[in-house]
Amino acid sequence: MALLPQEIIRRKRDGGTLEAGEVESFIQGLTSGAVSEGQAAAFAMAIFFRGLTVPERVALTRAMMNSGEVLMWDLPGPVLDKHSTGGVGDTVSLALGPAVAACGGYVPMISGRGLGHTGGTLDKFDSIPGYVTQPDIDTFRRVTREVGCAIIGQTADLAPADKRLYAIRDVTATVESVDLITASILSKKLSAGLQGLVMDVKFGSGAFMDNVKDARALAESLVLVANGAGLPTSALLTDMNQPLASAAGNAVEVAYAVDYLTGRHREKRFHEVTVELSAEMLVLGGIAAGIDEARTKIENAISSGKAAEVFQRMVSALGGPADFVEKHDRHLQAAPVIRPIPAERAGIVQSIATRDLGVAVVALGGGRTRPQDAIDHAVGLSGLAEIGDTVDANRPLAIVHARSEEAAEAAARVVRAAYTLGDAKAEPRALILERIGAMP
C-alpha cells in the first residue's frame, strides 16, 4: 500500500527521520502526479527547516535519479561535467564545456533554468534562435558523441522528479536548502552517467550561500554524497561578492561567452575560474596527470580557437545558426532600450550588493517569479563595473538593456543602490578560496 504523502510530510515536519522507502514513495508520487504541488511545496519547506541526515540525502538523490532514465556511455574518452551553485554573471558553462571537449573529454551537461536571482544556463541557450535545449535522448547522445559537448535541459526522461521539485523550490523560498540543492544537483548528474564531476560552490553577496561556512558545508555535502554514490567529485569554493562576468542576463551573457571564446574580450576573473574548473575536470578524467598540465591544455584549447569551434559545432548540431559564433550579434535579440547607468558621483567601487543586481535582471524580465513565467532573453545588464574600478563621467556603473525607459530607470535605481563607492583603493579579493576533495 502506498504511503500517504501527508503522513510523510508530517513526519519530516515534526523532526522525524524518513526511511528510504518513504522518500522513494514520495518521489514516485511526485513523478506520477499523485503528489500535488502544495504537498511538494510542504515537503520542501519541511526539509528546509528540519534538514536531512546523510542517509536521507542519499535516498532522496537516488530516488530522484531513478525517477527517469539513467544514461550509460561507450565513448573513447572520460564523461565529465561541472555544476555551479549559481550566481550573477556566472557564464562559465558556456566556455568550459567546449574547452574540456576540445581537450578530449565528453561533456553531456544537463543544465537548469534560473533560480531566484541567479541566471540559468538553459535560459541563456534559449536565447539562441533554433537551439533545441530539450532534445530527445538519442539526439543528446549523438551530439555528445560527435561534438564532445552537449549542453541541454532536463528532458522528460532524465530525473523528472527533480524537474518538478526544482520549479517549486524557485517560488517557495526553499532554494537555499543544502539538502535540496545536493539532491537536485546530483540526481541530474548521476542520471547523466558521469565519470567525474567538479562543483563550483559560490559564496558571497550574489550567491545562495552568502558566507563561507555555509558554502563549505554545501560543498562537503555534495562531495560526500557524490563520491558515496560512486561518482568521483571535487569542489572549488569561489567568490561571488561581485558578478563573475561583466554581463548578467541571457542574450548578453551568450554574447559575452562568444566574445570570450573568440578572444574579442577576456576578463581576468572569469578566465581564472573557467580555467581552474576545466583543469580540475581534466585531472579527474585522467586527461592530464596534474593540475599544471591541465591548465596548459585548457589555456591552449581556448587561445587556439578550438573551444570556439566546438561551441559552434554544438550550436549547429542542436539546431542553432551555422554562423552563430561569427555573427552572434545578428542572431541574438537586442532590447529596444540600451543605455548607460552613470554613478551619482565619481569614485572607486568598494563593494557590490550582487544579489540586488540579479534581482534587477529578474525585474527587467530576465528571470522568473513563477515557474510558468516567460523569460525576456534580450534584457539584462552589461559592462558591470568591478570592485576596484573607478567610475566617473566616462565610466558608468553598467549598461542596461530594457524593454522600456521606465523599466530601464527602475533597474538603474537598483544598480546605483547596489554599488558602494569611496575614494580609497579597493584591495582585490581571492577568487578561489579552497578545493574540497573526496573525504576519507
**DSSP codes of every residue in 318-356:** TT--TTTTTSHHHHS---SEEEEE--SS-EEEEEE-HHH
Concatenated DSSP letters for 352-383?
Answer: E-HHHHHHHHIIIIIS-SSTTPPP-TT-EEES
- Together in a domain, 319 and 383: no
Report how far residue 255's alpha carbon sits from residue 258's, in angstroms, rounded to the nearest whole number.
5
Residue 23 falls inside a structural domain: yes
Residue 171 falls inside a structural domain: yes
Q: Which residues pair with 199 in a beta bridge?
A: 83, 235
- Domain ranges, residue 40: 5-51
Please confirm, yes or no, whether 82 is among the known catalytic residues.
yes
Q: Which residues pair with 400 in a beta bridge?
A: 339, 381
- Together in a domain, 323 and 383: no
CATH number at residue 276: 3.40.1030.10
Candidate list 85, 118, 177, 184, residue with the active-site label: 184
C-alpha of 337 from chain center: 27
Please confirm, yes or no, whether 169 is among the known catalytic residues.
yes
pTM summary value: 0.88
CATH number at residue 356: 3.90.1170.30
Please confirm, yes or no, whether 184 is among the known catalytic residues.
yes
118 three-class SS: strand
Contact status, residue 135 vs residue 109, Cβ threshold 8 Å: no
- Together in a domain, 375 and 415: yes
**∠ Cα 181 28 114 (to 5°):** 30
Candidate list 31, 61, 84, 354, residue with the active-site label: 84
Please confirm, yes or no, whether 121 is among the known catalytic residues.
yes
- Together in a domain, 177 and 246: yes
Residue 430 falls inside a structural domain: no
Candidate list 57, 62, 188, 331, residue with the active-site label: 188
- Together in a domain, 106 and 253: yes
Q: Tell which of 307, 328, 349 closes a domain.
A: 328
pLDDT of residue 1: 46
Closest CA to 240 of 91, 380, 435: 91
CATH number at residue 30: 1.20.970.10
pLDDT of residue 370: 67
Candidate list 189, 269, 297, 368, residue with the active-site label: 189
4 three-class SS: coil
Residue 291 falls inside a structural domain: yes
- Together in a domain, 271 and 338: no
Q: What residue type is assigned to position 272 of the chain?
A: E
Closest CA to 226 of 271, 175, 263, 181: 181
- Together in a domain, 304 and 337: no
Q: Which residues pair with 249 in a beta bridge?
A: 380
Q: Tell which of 303, 328, 353 closes a domain.
A: 328
- Residues across the chain: 440
Residue carrying the nine cell digits 567601487: 349
Distances from the Cα of 101 to the Cα of 109, 150, 397, angstroms: 11, 10, 36
Report how far residue 278's alpha carbon sits from residue 99's, in angstroms, rounded to the nearest whole number.
7
Split into its structural domains, the chain has a count of 3
- Together in a domain, 418 and 343: yes
Residue 72 falls inside a structural domain: no
Please confirm, yes or no, whether 268 is among the known catalytic residues.
no
- Together in a domain, 220 and 136: yes
Beta strand segments in 342-418, E: 347-352, 380-382, 390-391, 398-402
Angle 268-284/291-303 helices, nearest 10 degrees?
120
Please confirm, yes or no, whether 306 is among the known catalytic residues.
no
- Together in a domain, 253 and 360: no
Residue 281 falls inside a structural domain: yes
- Together in a domain, 367 and 314: no
For strands 390-391 and 419-422, give the pairing.
unpaired
- Together in a domain, 241 and 258: yes
Report how far residue 150's alpha carbon sits from residue 277's, in angstroms, rounded to the nearest whole number.
18
Candidate list 12, 31, 62, 81, residue with the active-site label: 81
pLDDT of residue 173: 85
180 three-class SS: helix
Concatenated DSSP letters for 287-318?
Answer: SSSSHHHHHHHHHHHHHTSHHHHHHHHHHHHT
Candidate list 12, 57, 62, 83, residue with the active-site label: 83
Please give the radius of gyration of the chain, using alpha carbons only, rounded to the nearest integer: 21
Report how far residue 363's alpha carbon sits from residue 254's, in angstroms, rounded to the nearest whole number.
20
Residue 69 falls inside a structural domain: no
Q: What residue type is assigned to position 233 of the chain?
A: T
pLDDT by 10s per residue, the chain, length 440: 467 999 999 999 999 999 999 999 999 999 999 999 999 999 999 999 999 998 899 899 999 999 988 999 999 999 999 999 888 999 999 999 999 999 999 999 988 776 666 668 889 999 999 999 999 999 999 999 999 999 998 777 878 898 889 888 878 888 778 899 899 889 988 988 999 999 999 999 988 888 999 999 999 999 999 988 889 999 999 999 999 999 999 999 999 999 999 999 999 999 999 999 999 999 999 999 999 999 999 999 999 999 999 999 999 999 999 999 999 999 999 999 999 999 999 999 999 999 999 999 999 998 876 666 788 999 999 999 999 999 999 999 999 999 999 999 999 999 999 999 999 999 888 999 999 996 54
Concatenated DSSP letters for 104-151?
Answer: T-BEEEEE---BTTB--HHHHHTTSTT--SS--HHHHHHHHHHHSEEE
Residue 192 falls inside a structural domain: yes
